[in-house]
Structure 1
Amino acid sequence: MPKVLFLFLTAPQRRIRMRKIIDHGRLVKRLWFVGASGFLATGYSFFASNVSKPVLYYVYPPCGRLSSNAGMVMDELTLVGAAIGMVGAGVLADLYGRKKLYGFELALLIIATLGLIEASEGFQSQRSDGSSDRTMDIYSWLAWWQFWLGVAIGAEHPLVAIITAEWVRTKSRGRMLAAVFAAQPVARLAAYGVGLAVLKGVSSANGLSPDAADDGEVWKHVADQVWRWVRGFAILPALVAVGFRFTIPESPLYYADIVRDTIRGLKDMADIYRDKKGPKSAAKTTDDESLTAYERYRKWRTNGIATLRTKVAGQNLVRLSLLWVLTDIAWYCLALESPSAMATLWADPSATTATTPSAADSNPLTTNGTSCPEFLSWRSDPTNPSTSVYRELERSATRFMLVVSIGSILGSLALMIVINRVHRRVLLMTTCCALAALFAVSGSVLLGTRASPSPESRIAIDVLFGLMHFLFVLGPRTLVLIMGVELFPTVYRGTFYGLAAAAAKVGAIVIRPIIGKVGKSDMALGIRLMVAVALMVLCVAISYFLPEVQRERRTADVESSSQESDGETAAPSPALPGGNKGMFGKTFSKLETMTLEELEMMALKEI
C-alpha cells in the first residue's frame, strides 16, 4: 500500500494493520535476548544473596545487629523493595510508556550492586575489654542497598513481561514468555556456579587449599573477597541487558490503546521492520485523536476503579493475586531457596549437633567471642559444626545445583514444549494437584522418620524436592507470570500485573518471620509441607475459574485473515464460553493462542 494511502485509513483499520505486522514480525531472537538478559541480571542478583550469606556472616558476624536477625531484616527489605518496584513500574509503564522505564531499573540494579560490594565497617579498633569498635556498620549499608536492589528486581518483572507479550507474535507468545522466564532458573545455576568458581579461584590465588587450617584472619581475607566478587558479577549481565534495551522501540499497543496514536506506533514498527508500507516519510506523524500525558492520566484514574468493579478484568486481578499469594507463601513456607532448608535435607542423621568453634569463631576483634549469639550463623548445617567456610559454601552450592537448579531448568524446558499443547488453566490445575500430592508424601516421610532418619529417606526427600522445583516452574511459578500479562487490558496491563505480583510479595513478607520462628528441624519442615498441601488445593480451586487464553485450532486456516484488505474490520474469533468446558479434551493437540485484542475484549466485558 502506498505511504500516502496508509494515512487515510481509520484508527481501527490502522490498529488491525498493526496486529498483522506484529504477527508477521521477525523480532523473536531480539525479543528473547532483551527479556532474558534482564531476567538473568535480576535473577542472578537475587540468588547471589543466598550464595554470599555464609561467607558474609563468616567475615562480619551479625551479633544482634539490625534487630536480632540481620539476614531476615535484609530479606524483608528486599521483598518490600520488590513490591514497591512492581507496583511503581507497572503504573508508570501504563502512564508514560514501557520504553521510558525499560533500562532504568537495570541502571538502579547496577548502582545498588556497586553500593553492596563497597559496603564497609569503616575504621576498626579494639577496646580494652576485648570488644571491637567501628566507625560504620556494614549491615546498615547492606540493608539500605538491598532495599534498592529489591526495587530494581521488582520493577523488572512487569516491564519484561509486558513488552515481550506486546511485541511477540500471537502464536509464539506463550513459548516466548516461558523462554524469557527460563532465565531465572539459569540465573540460579549461574549464581552458585560463579560462587564455586570464585571460591576456588580466590583461595588458589591466596595459596590456600580447601582443607587448610582455619586460622581466622587469612580465611576471612579470602571470604571477604569471595562474597564481593559473587555479588558484583551481577553487573555484567545487567550491562549487556541495558545495551539490548536500546534495540526495542516503544510498544505499538501502548501507542494504539493508551496514547491513541496509531500512526506513531506504525511509524516505529516501520522503522524496526524496514516496512516500505509504513508512513516513514509522511508529513503527518501523529493521530488527531492522540491523548496528552495529562489526558491519559485522568482517563487512567477515572476508568481504573470502574474497570475493577464492573469488568471481568477486576475478577481476573483478584484471582491471579490470590494465586500469586498462595504460590509465594507455599514457596517461602517450604524455604525452597534457603541454604538451611537444603542443609536439613542433606544432614547426616547420625551426626551430632554439638558445636565446636574454630579459631576464627573465637577471635574477639571480629566476633566479640561467645557473647555474640549468632557467632555460628554462617553454618547452615547444625549437624556438621566443624566444617570450614570453604566446605560450607562448596556443599551449599552443590546441594542447590543438584536439587534445585536441575529440576527448575528441566521444568522450564518442559513448559516450552507443552505450553502450546495444553490449556494454561488445565496445566496450572494439574501441576498444583501434583504439588499437593508431593507435599503430602514429603511431609509424611519427614514426620515419620524424624525420630530415626535413614540415608534412604534423605535420598527420597531429595528426589521429591527436585520434583517440587520441576513442577513449580512447569506450573504456578511461571504460568501465573504468563497469564498476568494475558488477562488484563493494555491500558491497565502494567498496573494490574504489578498489583498482583506485589500482593504475592506482601504474603511473602508476612510469612518469612513466621517461618524463621518455627525453626529448621525435620519436624518443622514436615509440618510446613502439610500446610502447603492446603495451599495447593486452594490454588486448584481458584485456577478452575480462570478464563482460557487458548482454543482448539480452527479448521479454517488462519492464513486467510492475511488476505483481508486493510479497510476491513476483523471480528474476533469465538472464545470458549466460560473457559470451563472440554477441559481435558484433546489435551495434547496443538492449540491456537488468542490474540491480546481478543483477550482484552473478554477482560472488558461487564460482570
Structure 2
Amino acid sequence: MAGDHLQVLNALDLAKTQWYHFTAIIVAGMGFFTDAYDLFCISLVTKLLGRIYYFDPASAAPGTLPPKISAAVNGVAFFGTLSGQLFFGWLGDKLGRKKVYGMTLMMMVICSIASGLSFGHTATGVMATLCFFRFWLGFGIGGDYPLSATIMSEYANKKTRGAFIAAVFAMQGFGIITGGVVAIVISAAFKSYFDAPAYAVDRAGSTVPQADYVWRIIVMLGSVPAALTYYWRMKMPETARYTALVAKNAKQAAADMSKVLQAEIVEEQAKVEEMAAKDQANSFGLFSREFARRHGLHLVGTTTTWFLLDIAFYSQNLFQKDIFSAINWIPKAATMNAIEEVFRIARAQTLIALCGTVPGYWFTVAFIDVVGRFAIQITGFFFMTVFMLGLAIPYHHWTTKGNHIGFVVMYAFTFFFANFGPNSTTFIVPAEIFPARLRSTCHGISAAAGKAGAIVGAFGFLYAAQSRDPAKRDKGYPAGIGVRNALFVLAACSLLGFLFTFLVPESKGKSLEEMSGENEDEEQINSVPAHNINRTTSA
C-alpha cells in the first residue's frame, strides 16, 4: 500500500507515546470540556429561568418556562451544533484542520459571554436573545467535533489511536462535572448570603431578584477554559496526513513532524507526486458512486448509530431534573426557594456524572485498543437497552417513596454504558475509516446526524414526558405520554442502535490508510466486495 511507504506517515503510525500526544489530547480535549459545559449547563438553570421570568403573581406556585420556550432554550444550541458540524467539517477538508480550528474556539468564547449578557425588556425578549447567542455558541461547538477528532486521529499512532481519541472525548465528562460544581458553588454562595436574617423574605417557593445573577454567571464561566486554550491551538502544526495526502506538500509535512516527533524525517515530494499521479482511482468525491460503493454502508452505520444514541443520551442529560422530580428525589419546587432548587439539581446531576458518566468515558480509554470499537459499542447499546427497560417496566415501583435510590443507581448505569459504549465509539470511528480528503466532512456528517438525534431528544422528550394532569394542560402544557413511556422509547432507540452497529467496521490496530483504502491499487480494491472492505477485525 503506497500510503505506508511515506516515511512521515510510517513515523506517525509507529511512534511511541510521547509528550506531544498528551499535549494534543489536552489542547483538543479542552474544546470538548467547554462543549460539554456549555451544552449541559443550561439544563441546570432552566427551572431558575422559569421562576425569574415567568412568575405569575396571581398564582402561589413558582413560575415555570412554557413548554415551547423550554424546548427552544434547551434545544436551540443543537441546531447551531448541527450546522457547525456540517460547515466546519467541510471547511476542515477544504482549508486544512488548523486554519479553522481557532475560529471555532473564538466563537465559543464570545457566545458564552454573550449568552450570559442576554437582554430584553420582556421575558420573551431575554429568552429570544439567549436563544440567538446559544445558536451561535452551538455553531462553534459543532466545528470542534470533526476538527478535534480528525486532528487527534491523524496525530496518533495506530496502536493507541483509539485511546487518544477517546481521551479527547472523555474531557466532556469533566466538563459536565465542572458545570455541576460551578452551579453548586455559585448557588451555595448566593444561598448562604440570602439566607441571612435580612433576607428572610426569601421563603420556600420564592425568588430573590439577585437570582438573575446566578444563571448568568454559570453560563458565562464556560468561556474561561476555551479562552485559555486558544494560544496553544494556534501553535499546533497542520497534520501531516492533510499536508502530505491532501495538500501534496511532503516537504512541509516532513518539517512539521520532524519538530513534533523530534526525529529526522526525509521529505519525499517525488513520491507524493507519483502517488498523486496514480491516485485517479481514489479521487472520487463524497457524492460519487465510487464513494457509495466503498464507504456508503460505513457512512450509514456511523450516522444511524450516532443519531439513535443521541436521542437517548441527550434526553437523559437535559431532562434529568424532570426525571428526578418525578421520582421525588428532588423536592417539589414550591417547597424551596429558587437558588436552593438550582443547588439541588446541580448536586443530583453532578453525582450521576461522577458515578456513571466519567467512569464510562475512561473505561473506554482503557479498553478500546484492547477489545476494539465494535465490541464496546454493541455492548454499550445492549446494556443501555437493558437498564432503560429496568427503569421503565417497574417504573411505579421506583416512584414509590423510599425506592428512588435504586432508580438513581440504575439510571447511573445507563450513563456508564452510554459512555463505555456508543457515546465514545460513535465519535471515534468516523475519524478513522474515511479517506483523508473526506475525513473531516464525513465525521461532520456523522456528528450532525447525532445532533439531529439530540434535537429529537430535546424537543420530543420534553413533550413526551409532560404530565397528563388536566390542570396543567389548561395552562398550555401538552398531554404527554409520561416519563415511563418515554423511557420505553429510549430503550427502543438503544435497541435499534445495537442493530445498526453491524454496519460499522472495526479499526483496531490498523492505520488510517488501511481503513480508508487510500492509495491502494484499483485492482486491490476491486478484488474485495465493497461491503466487506475493512470489516474483518484485526488481531
Normalised TM-score (structure 2): 0.84
Identify the residue that residue 443 of structure 1 maps to in structure 2.
392
Partner of 1:405: 354
Residue in structure 2 matched with residue 95 of structure 1 by the alignment = 94
Measure, in 1, the Cα distance between the counterparts of 2:518 and 2:316: 36
> Which residue does 1:266 correspond to in 2?
254
Conserved? CA contact 1:410–1:470, under 8 Å: yes
AA matched with 2:77: T
Whole-angstrom distance in 2 between the partners of 1:278 and 1:599: 25
How far the C-alpha of 1:542 sits from its partner, in A, is 1.6
Local SS of the residue matching 1:454: coil
Alpha-carbon separation, structure 1, partners of 2:325 and 2:30: 31
C-alpha change, 1:214 and 1:410, in structure 2 (3 Å) is same
Do the aligned residues in 2 keep the contact of 1:260 with 1:290 (CA within 8 Å)?
no
Which residue of the partner structure matches residue 589 of structure 1?
Answer: none
* Structure 1 counterpart of 2:365, from 385, 392, 416: 416
One-letter identity of the residue aligned with 1:23: L
Q: Is residue 16 from structure 1 mapped to residue 7 from structure 2 by the alignment?
A: yes
Instruction: Give the corresponding residue for 1:457.
Output: 403
Give CA-to-partner distance per residue, 1:225-276, whole Å, 9 cap, x none.
Answer: 2111111111110112212202310011001221122222111112333434
**Using a 3 Å threshold, how does the CA distance of structure 1 residues 310 and 516 change in structure 2: closer, same or farther?**
closer
Partner Cα separation in structure 1 for residue 126 and residue 309 of structure 2: 33
Aligned to 2:458: 512
Please list the CA deviations of residues 512-568 of structure 1 after superposition, one character each: whole Å capped at 9, or x if unmatched.
333222234597222122223322222222212322212xxxxxxxxxxxxxxxxxx
Distance in 2, Cα, partners of 1:109 & 1:299: 40
CA distance in 2, matches of 1:211, 1:308: 70
The SS at the match of 2:236 is coil
RMSD: 3.4
- In structure 2, do the counterparts of structure 1 residues 303 and 100 end up closer, same or farther at CA, with 3 Å as the change threshold? same
TM-aligned CA distance change 1:259 to 1:121, over 3 Å: same
Alignment partner of 1:322 is 2:304: yes
- Paired with 1:61 and 1:332, the residues of 2 have a C-alpha distance of 25
Alpha carbons of 1:331 and 1:33: their partners in 2 closer, same or farther (altered >3 Å)? closer
1:344 matched to which residue of 2?
A: 326
Where do residues 113-192 of structure 1 align in structure 2 (5 Å cutoff)?
A: 113-122=112-121, 137-192=125-180
Work out the CA distance in 2 between the residues paired with 1:220 and 1:78.
28
For the residues of structure 2 that align with 1:242 and 1:308, how far apart are their CA atoms?
39
Look up the SS of the partner of 1:213 in the other structure: coil
Paired amino acid for 1:20 = A
Conserved? CA contact 1:445–1:461, under 8 Å: no
Kindly, what percent of the aligned residue pairs are identical?
23
Q: Against the structure 1 CA distance between its residues 48 and 97, is the aligned structure 2 distance closer, same or farther, given a 3 Å change threshold?
A: same
From the superposition, tell whether residues 118 and 313 of structure 1 become closer, same or farther in structure 2 (CA, over 3 Å): same
Q: Secondary structure at the match of 1:137?
A: helix
Return the offset for 1:91: 0.2
Q: Name the CA shift for 1:66/1:51 in 2 (closer, same or farther; >3 Å).
A: closer
| C-alpha contact (below 8 Å) 1:340/1:520 kept by paired residues | no
Contact 1:487 1:599 in 2 (8 A): yes
Does residue 534 (structure 1) correspond to residue 450 (structure 2)? The answer is no
Match of 1:57 in 2: 50
Check conservation: 1:62, 1:69, Cα contact below 8 A.
no
In 1: Cα distance, 2:494 partner to 2:118 partner: 41
CA-to-partner distance for each residue in 1:20-40, whole Å, 9 max, x for gaps? 145326312211111111111
Match of 2:516 in 1: 600
Whole-Å Cα distance in 2 between the matches of residues 76 and 135 of structure 1?
Answer: 18
Out of 458-467 and 45-54, give the one that drifted further. Answer: 45-54
SS in 1 for 2:434: coil
CA distance in 1, matches of 2:199, 2:386: 42
| Partner SS for 1:103 | helix
Is 1:257–1:490's contact at 8 Å kept on the other side of the alignment? yes
- Answer yes or no: is 1:548 the counterpart of 2:539: no
Q: For the structure 1 residues 464 and 198, does the alpha-carbon distance in structure 2 shift closer, same or farther, using more than 3 Å as the test?
A: same
Work out whether residues 329 and 511 of structure 1, in 8 Å CA contact, stay in contact via their aligned partners in 2: yes
Residue 399 to residue 425, structure 1, CA distance change in 2 (3 Å) = same
For residue 404 of structure 1, report the CA deviation from its aligned partner.
Answer: 3.4
Q: 2:431 and 2:318 mapped to 1: Cα distance?
A: 26
- Please tell me whether residue 30 in structure 1 is matched to residue 23 in structure 2: yes
Per the TM alignment, residue 165 of structure 1 is displaced from its structure 2 partner at its CA by 0.7
| Amino acid aligned to 2:159 | K
1:227 counterpart (205, 211, 215): 215
User: In the alignment, is the contact (CA less than 8 A) between 1:429 and 1:543 conserved in 2?
Assistant: yes
Say which SS state the counterpart of residue 506 (structure 2) adopts: coil
Q: Offset of 1:41 from its aligned partner?
A: 1.4
Q: Distance in 2 between matches of 1:224 and 1:487?
A: 47
> Residue 48 of structure 1 corresponds to which residue in structure 2?
41
Instruction: Report the AA paired with residue 359 of structure 2.
Output: L
Deviation, 1:332, is: 4.0
Question: Take 1:23 and 1:308, find their aligned partners in 2: how far apart are those partners?
Answer: 30
Equivalent in 225, 230, 241 of residue 237 of structure 1 = 225
Q: Output aligned runs, 1:188-587, within 5 Å.
A: 188-204=176-192, 208=196, 212-214=200-202, 220-278=208-266, 303-306=285-288, 309-334=291-316, 337-347=319-329, 383-446=332-395, 448-449=396-397, 453-520=399-466, 524-550=482-508
Alignment deviations for residues 452-498 of structure 1 (CA, whole Å, 9 cap, x no partner): x4234322111100111111000011111111211211111111111
* Structure with more of its chain in helix, by fraction: 2
Look up the SS of the partner of 1:459 in the other structure.
helix
Separation (CA, whole Å) in 2 of partners of 1:458 and 1:602: 53
Say whether the 8 Å CA contact 2:245–2:437 is kept in structure 1.
Answer: yes
Alignment deviations for residues 111-153 of structure 1 (CA, whole Å, 9 cap, x no partner):
111211222235xxxxxxxxxxx59921121111011011011
Check the 8 A contact 1:442/1:529 in 2, yes or no: yes
Asked whether the equivalents of residues 50 and 65 of structure 2 are also in contact (C-alpha less than 8 Å), the reply is no
Partner Cα distance (2:198, 2:350) in 1: 20
Which amino acid letter does the alignment assign opposite residue 449 of structure 2?
A
Give CA deviations for 1:379-423 in whole Å, capped at 9, x if unaligned.
xx6x44231112201110111122233210111122122212212
Indicate conservation of the 8 Å contact 1:264/1:287, yes or no.
no
* Aligned counterpart, 2:111: 112
What is the identity, as a one-letter code, of the residue corresponding to 2:31?
Answer: G
Question: SS in structure 1 opposite 2:335?
Answer: coil
User: Contact 1:264/1:285 (CA < 8 Å) preserved in 2?
Assistant: no
Give distance in 2, aligned partners of 1:500 and 1:89: 13
Equivalent residue letter for 1:432: F
How far apart, CA to CA, are the structure 2 residues paired with 1:300 and 1:198?
Answer: 55
Contact map agreement 1:108 1:149 (CA 8 A) in 2? yes
AA matched with 1:394: F
5+ residue gaps, structure 2, are: 57-62, 469-480, 531-539
Query: Paired residue for 2:473?
Result: none
